[in-house]
Structure 1
Amino acid sequence: MANSAGLSLCGQTLVVRGGSQFLATSIANSDDDNLFIYDCSTAEKKPQENKGEDGQPMEKGSDSILASTFSESGNYFALTDDSKRLILFRTKPWQCLSVRTVVRRCTALTFTASEEKVLVADKSGDVYSFSVLEPQGCGKLELGHLSMLLDVVVSPDDRYVLTADRDEKIRVSWSAAPHSIESFCLGHTEFVSRIFVVPDHPELLLSTSGDGTLRLWDYRSGLELHHCLVTSLQEPDVPRSEKAFTASRIVYCRQESCVALLCDSIPVVYIFQLDAPRRQLVYKQKLSFQHRVWDVAFEETQSLWVLQDCQETPLVLCQPVWGQWQSVSENNVLKKVSSHLRRNWAMLEGSAGVGDSFSSLYKATFDNMTTYLKKKEERLQQQLQKRQRRKSPQPGPNGHTKKLKSGEASLGC
């Protein structure tokens, strides 16, 4: 698995991950130099981790962190790694509560709103729940898809579990009875890469896809309310490719209802405003960066933190100034956190972005019709040539052409 870099922010706690490590620090003020660093390669390895379901030895994982998230209050933090482990932390103060084994490598995870469970989605299409209150408890299978899951979220009231898969579907299931499906949100033409329930408008869902669109839904009814083609926001003289516009992150700030969209493979973040009364998205601005952007996160004070592939300036802080987002250079907290990252740059060295694996999810297309028509034309030509040979006069035994008598017909007729 690729070394994936990521950024998480909840309240005043910021987490940066890279490879098998993450570091957590406070952004409350520049004087607070508290730093917590964790390395998954030192985590507990249980005996059963070394054997698969058939009892045969499994391929050893790289311990790289695949996904991570905070609970709503920020009291808990969880991650899954390439060695098929779910690791749960308490954050105040930082303490590892448990290391549990998951069945398969996970692609996404989320806490329930009550913070009683962690839901993990895996590559086989299953969602398992793990107790937070009983940190050593085993996982429970909640629901399954026939294709790979790429994201999982819960509604703010914990009534619904929403899942996004590779087969262009968003499924809305009841939390209390996951086999009961409330609706499907259908409309994407490629895999659904990210989904996000808007916290202050809990009936609304944002989604992104390999088809290069950002869509707004009333997810309980499955009704699409609005969509924006991100490729249309690119400069006309730049070659367009939908694959470059797969969104790897959707982040939201309640102040001004601001949505930031990070697209894979390009150093650009798109800013939208959610117009909830009109149920539509309004494009506002494009932020361009000198280096590749790995991840983004909003702070409660309407500041956008940007993690980029540059050791000298690993973090960029953007804030709105007279309606336009601009980078801020003179910020003591930014300098403090950037200093931490420079000293621990080894964990980010050679990192990929949070959505780098998306390029392999596009389904191959084959133009069978062109091949079929070509072969059909060849067969018709061969048949025509045979008919022409049969119609042409054939030479007799003495070398003279045999003439057809009256009433005789050639074999080709």
Structure 2
Amino acid sequence: MSTRLPFTKIAHHPNKPELVLANGHYYVVLNTSNGEIIKSYPQDAKIDNVTDYYRSMQFNKDGSLFATSGENKELCVWDTNNWSLKFSRPAYKRVNAMAFNKDSTQLLSADKFGDVYCHPVKEAIEGEEKLQPIVGHVSMVTDMLLTPDDKYVITSDRDEHIRVSRFPNGYNIESFCLGHTDVVTCIDILPWDESILVSSGGDSTVRTWDFKNGISKQTLDLKSKIEAYKPPAADANSEDAIVSALAFNINTKTLAVSFAKSTAVLILNWEDDTGFAYSETKLAPLPILDIAYDLEGKLWMSLDGDKLVHVCSSTSSENLLKQINTAEVCKANEVFDLYTIFGLRKFLDLPERVSNEENASNKKRKTK
């Protein structure tokens, strides 16, 4: 029996009420003001065992371009005026994160092998010289961004590091932001103060940084807040909660934090003097895959289950969700793993004797 695939990634337009929802190797565009579908699913799509899906999606600064990349190792750039494909070009490895520079002439891509490439925003031509990475990690890059002034490319990796490198000469390292005790999964620039970096990950902390100097400004531990909403552990890697997405509401200076395989989103409020503070927990009816705020401050959630999308709003959301939750989307006979994020951890259960020798209170260690 075939199953509707959930929307694995979502992203909201910076200036228009348009939400992009990735479904398999396609995407749907929803008007977040009235719930109408702007770009629907292709009519000729077939039911199959989808293994190709979007892992990364990114708007440029003014929202005129939209980039996607998935398992097929292709970078696709779309014109958001009519949502047509402008061009595609090959990526060298599977892409984990993307970012446009401020004039949209270059598209940066970070891959699972730890490299960041700078692609020209144009169709690849036959015989084009192979690009060289501008940043290289010995560990998998988990997230990447380019600062709004185009001066720094910031990368996080599987081994708890955050590196701040000069752009485009990434071999010039400006600083490291060190302090996380587990994999860093999400980094972003604070929208209302572009001198501050926000990070989070497997240690269930949200941290802020003076990233140019590599100085920690705040560490907010959310373990006690998410404890009641953790999913059952399947193995050592999923024993603890892991942050899967961050979303900012610029108007209210609010940060939403979602966790893999959990139904809870933690809402943090910003105070200029002290930083982030826990405000409340919002619950979805099913485990949350991704989150995004719209321009009106509504928090959209893509879900793992029969109901594809949920929205937190001060008014009724029934009409907003009617079309998207009944839309024709990609189906598959077998759903791929939706929670590969847990695999970013490198934990192993150790024999009791070895564990006691290393740390009597810790029965896990990291592999190399």
Q: Given the two structures, how large is their TM-score scaled by the length of structure 1?
A: 0.74
**Residue 23 (1) aligns with residue 53 (2):** no
**Which of the numbers 101, 126, 129 marks the counterpart of 2:90?**
101
**Which of the numbers 107, 119, 124 marks the counterpart of 1:136?**
124
Mapped contact 1:171–1:184 kept (Cα < 8 A):
yes
Number of corresponding residues: 339
**Residue 346 (1) aligns with residue 323 (2):** no
Counterpart in the other structure of 2:308: 314
Give the partner amino acid of 2:151. Answer: R
Give the distance between the partners of 2:53 and 2:230, measured in 1 at CA.
Answer: 35
Task: State the shift of 1:90 in Å.
Answer: 1.1
**Residue 231 (1) aligns with residue 223 (2):** yes
Unaligned stretches of 5+ in structure 2?
358-368
Give the distance between the partners of 1:16 and 1:288, measured in 2 at CA.
Answer: 20
Mapped contact 1:67–1:107 kept (Cα < 8 A):
yes
Q: Does the C-alpha gap of structure 1 residues 318 and 372 become closer, same or farther in structure 2, counting only changes over 3 Å?
A: closer
Mapped contact 2:226–2:264 kept (Cα < 8 A):
no
Aligned-partner SS, 1:251: strand
**Residue 167 (1) aligns with residue 159 (2):** yes
Mapped contact 1:66–1:81 kept (Cα < 8 A):
yes
Task: State the shift of 1:25 in Å.
Answer: 3.2
Backbone CA RMSD of aligned residues: 3.0
**Residue 302 (1) aligns with residue 297 (2):** yes
Task: State the shift of 1:234 in Å.
Answer: 3.6
Q: Does the C-alpha gap of structure 1 residues 239 and 316 become closer, same or farther in structure 2, counting only changes over 3 Å?
A: closer
Q: Given the two structures, how large is their TM-score scaled by the length of structure 2?
A: 0.83
CA distances 1:277-304 after superposition (whole Å, capped 9, x unpaired): 2242110000122211111100111111
Structure 1 stretches of 4+ with a deviation exceeding 6 A read 236-242
Unaligned stretches of 5+ in structure 1?
43-60, 322-327, 375-413
Give the distance between the partners of 1:204 and 1:38, measured in 2 at CA.
Answer: 41
Q: Does the C-alpha gap of structure 1 residues 233 and 117 become closer, same or farther in structure 2, counting only changes over 3 Å?
A: same
Q: Does the C-alpha gap of structure 1 residues 223 and 119 become closer, same or farther in structure 2, counting only changes over 3 Å?
A: same
Give the distance between the partners of 1:99 and 1:236, measured in 2 at CA.
Answer: 44
Task: State the shift of 1:9 in Å.
Answer: 1.0
Task: State the shift of 1:263 in Å.
Answer: 0.5
Larger Rg: 1
**Residue 329 (1) aligns with residue 316 (2):** yes
Give the distance between the partners of 1:333 and 1:373, measured in 2 at CA.
Answer: 55
Counterpart in the other structure of 2:363: none
Counterpart in the other structure of 1:255: 251
Mapped contact 1:272–1:284 kept (Cα < 8 A):
yes
Task: State the shift of 1:189 in Å.
Answer: 1.1
* Larger RCO: 1 or 2 (CA < 8 Å, sep 6+): 2
Aligned-partner SS, 1:153: strand
CA distances 1:241-279 after superposition (whole Å, capped 9, x unpaired): 87442111011011110100010121110100122x224
**Residue 193 (1) aligns with residue 180 (2):** no
Aligned-partner SS, 1:104: coil
Counterpart in the other structure of 1:289: 284
Mapped contact 1:4–1:351 kept (Cα < 8 A):
no
Give the distance between the partners of 2:115 and 2:38, measured in 1 at CA.
Answer: 38
Mapped contact 1:162–1:172 kept (Cα < 8 A):
yes
Counterpart in the other structure of 2:340: 357
Give the partner amino acid of 1:111. Answer: F
More helix by share: 1
Give the partner amino acid of 1:15. Answer: V
Q: Does the C-alpha gap of structure 1 residues 34 and 280 become closer, same or farther in structure 2, counting only changes over 3 Å?
A: closer
Q: Does the C-alpha gap of structure 1 residues 181 and 334 become closer, same or farther in structure 2, counting only changes over 3 Å?
A: same
Task: State the shift of 1:369 in Å.
Answer: 9.3
Alignment of 1:57-136 (within 5 A): 62-132=51-121, 134-136=122-124
Q: Does the C-alpha gap of structure 1 residues 38 and 175 become closer, same or farther in structure 2, counting only changes over 3 Å?
A: farther
Counterpart in the other structure of 1:8: 11
Give the distance between the partners of 2:31 and 2:169, measured in 1 at CA.
Answer: 39
Mapped contact 2:229–2:263 kept (Cα < 8 A):
no
Mapped contact 2:32–2:294 kept (Cα < 8 A):
no
Q: Does the C-alpha gap of structure 1 residues 372 and 331 become closer, same or farther in structure 2, counting only changes over 3 Å?
A: closer
Give the partner amino acid of 2:266. Answer: Y
